[in-house]
Structure 1
Amino acid sequence: MISATTLFSPVEADLKELSENLTRLISARHPILGAAAEHLFSAGGKRVRPAIVLLASRATLGDRPLTQRHRRLAEITEMIHTASLVHDDVVDEAALRRSVPTVNSLFDNRIAVLAGDFLFAQSSWYLANLDNLTVVKLLSEVIKDFAEGEIQQGLNRFDTGMNLEIYIEKSYYKTASLIGNSAKAAAVLSEVDPEIGDRLYDYGRNLGLAFQIVDDILDFTGSTDVLGKPAGSDLIGGHITAPALFAMEEHPNLTQLIEREFAENGDPEKALEIVRNSNGISRAKELAAHHGQLACHSLECLDPSPSKDALTDLIDYVLGRMY
């Protein structure tokens, strides 16, 4: 399978510059907040979201050079994403992310919440300084969507009344909104036909949904080593994702286990076995592939370029994680 490094070769130098800039941008007045934020950016990660912004920028600029505003947009995107992860880890009480201790486990929840808030505030400040109202609106909506997604996820725990529509909406808020809106924002800064911006939004939305569905499949099929957490931990934590939703249609006894919040001995193991022996995982794979096809179709508006090829290959990369 193609690696993320090879995939992002058209923007490899841009991503290197981005990593150096991020560490500079977050130097806070308070050393602990600065240390917390710096820890986040040095924790690795594939930088998928800023890479998409940079690829969308280069794909829409054609022969024109990449501007500082495009670079700043990519940095803002990564800041917003990282801020959301910090808050996620506090809510989930996670000790590790990408096999690195989380901010909440290194410092404490109070500092972690403040570090996340600090990154959101920093990103908003840099966003305002882009002096483009359309872009400000697009990325402000993302920050609102993150909060909405977290609240929805909290309220929907162990709720067997969940359906596919609610699941897709929550996945959009938590993952796809940032990818879709930041890709569109790149096109806005490139000053191309608004329809190209709309198509890039569709690309990011569908790629983000495919990405989230694949992640949810891996929760059942991945190993603890790969996931960095025990397999099935989302379901056991009450988060009902696509594979479990489909499995519940086939096996009403799974619904009972979820409704009693896996209170009896052996309930978690039973639930995982039901999902793995159902058509839930294969149907979720079909759903992810469907969104991948929609994402691919949205790129037809772009002229041929290495950046367009990379955006296309990224779809295969995301879907390839299922196998």
Structure 2
Amino acid sequence: MFSQIKLDLKILDSNLKKMIGARHPILYAAAEHLFDAGGKKIRPAIVLLVSKATNTNNKIKNEHKRLAEITEIIHTASLVHDDVIDDCDTRRGIQTVHNTFSNKIAILAGDFLFAQASWYLANLDNLEVVKIISKVITDFAEGEVMQGITNFDTSISIEDYVEKSFYKTASLIAASCKAAVMINHVDENTQRIFYNYGKHIGLAFQIMDDILDITGSETSLGKPAGSDLKNGNLTSPLIFALHNQPELIKLIDREFQEDGDQKKAVELIHRTHAIEKAKDLAIEHAQASLQYLKTYQHNDFIDTLKYISNYIINRIH
């Protein structure tokens, strides 16, 4: 899927470890631990594709490469903190940072990565890009607070869920897409197009991940299935199922504390059309991302961005 930017992504992989460059070996080891696990690199790949799609020479500037790296560092920092909050045992198939080291080291490693990303961001010498990417870090915090105060709350609406998903996931993709266009000094309408592409593709990805948390296996997810249920994070499949399975409310009210509660909840969700409704919601956002791309001039990199949207649609059918 990313053959056009394969070399760029390979360089990005090697640069990430150089960029974290912590002086204290424990801090470096904690940050390196998660980078060693790999990951899909979807976010930096999208940044690089948007960079090429909106550059008249279809070239990637050094600032674009650094923006892609910053995007992945910010994303990784948020994962380290999320894992502490949710007490996840594994991430990307390996032990989480706080399990390998400690909660304190994991929090400090996450803070360090955010700080490093901010430093490299400032060195782009582009105030508008600094503003839009800096806002993402506050969005992460707002999204985490929104999730925290709605844990095990059966009154949460789909609208609340989508808003939280924007802050926690889509904000970074949307902002980095817009920033990539800004570095190319392209007009505000084009910036808006790619911001909205990133927003909707980000929401589609998040909804799809939430579906897979219910339907996937630990092997495919790289973390235990049903972890959202355990942490009281009520996602779209569960929210849609609540209307048809009142028994779910009892399980949520007792916070899945009894043996078999999580398994029972998954079974109840599968007895409804909730998974299909959640898939429809993801498809709606993937199709919205395609609509924004239709308004932009055609090139090979736009085709790849469209392919990503279609990949999501086909994957969840």
Superposition TM-score, scaled by structure 2 size: 0.96
Q: Distance in 2 between matches of 1:284 and 1:64?
A: 36
Q: How does 1:188-207 map to 2 (within 5 A)?
A: 188-207=182-201
Which is further off, 64-73 or 52-61? 64-73
Which is further off, 34-43 or 169-178? 34-43
Native 8 Å contact 2:90 2:224 kept in 1:
no
CA deviation after TM superposition for structure 1 residue 67, in Å: 1.1
Q: How does 1:100-139 map to 2 (within 5 A)?
A: 100-139=94-133
Native 8 Å contact 1:59 1:302 kept in 2:
no
Q: Specify the code of the residue in structure 2 equivalent to 1:136.
A: V
Corresponding residue number in structure 2 for 1:185: 179
Native 8 Å contact 2:290 2:309 kept in 1:
yes
Helix, strand or coil for the counterpart of 1:61? coil
Helix, strand or coil for the counterpart of 1:33? helix
CA deviation after TM superposition for structure 1 residue 98, in Å: 1.0
Alignment equivalent of 1:312, drawn from 303, 306, 311: 306
Q: Distance in 2 between matches of 1:267 and 1:65?
A: 53
Q: Distance in 2 between matches of 1:204 and 1:156?
A: 26
CA deviation after TM superposition for structure 1 residue 150, in Å: 1.2
Native 8 Å contact 1:220 1:276 kept in 2:
no
Is 2:261 the partner of 1:280?
A: no
Q: Distance in 2 between matches of 1:320 and 1:238?
A: 29
Residue 46 to residue 269, structure 1, CA distance change in 2 (3 Å): closer
Q: Distance in 2 between matches of 1:309 and 1:69?
A: 23
Q: How does 1:195-274 map to 2 (within 5 A)?
A: 195-274=189-268
Helix, strand or coil for the counterpart of 2:54? helix
CA deviation after TM superposition for structure 1 residue 268, in Å: 2.8
Unpaired runs of 5+ residues, structure 2, are none
Q: How does 1:84-163 map to 2 (within 5 A)?
A: 84-163=78-157
Alignment size in residue pairs:
317
CA deviation after TM superposition for structure 1 residue 205, in Å: 0.6
Native 8 Å contact 1:60 1:302 kept in 2:
no
Residue 265 to residue 29, structure 1, CA distance change in 2 (3 Å): closer
Superposition TM-score, scaled by structure 1 size: 0.94
Native 8 Å contact 1:196 1:301 kept in 2:
no
Unpaired runs of 5+ residues, structure 1, are 1-6
CA deviation after TM superposition for structure 1 residue 301, in Å: 3.1
Percent of paired sites with the same residue: 55
Is 2:36 the partner of 1:19?
A: no
Question: Moved runs in structure 1, 4+ residues, more than 6 A?
Answer: none
Which is further off, 65-74 or 247-256? 247-256
Q: Distance in 1 between matches of 2:247 and 2:34?
A: 41
Is 2:54 the partner of 1:60?
A: yes
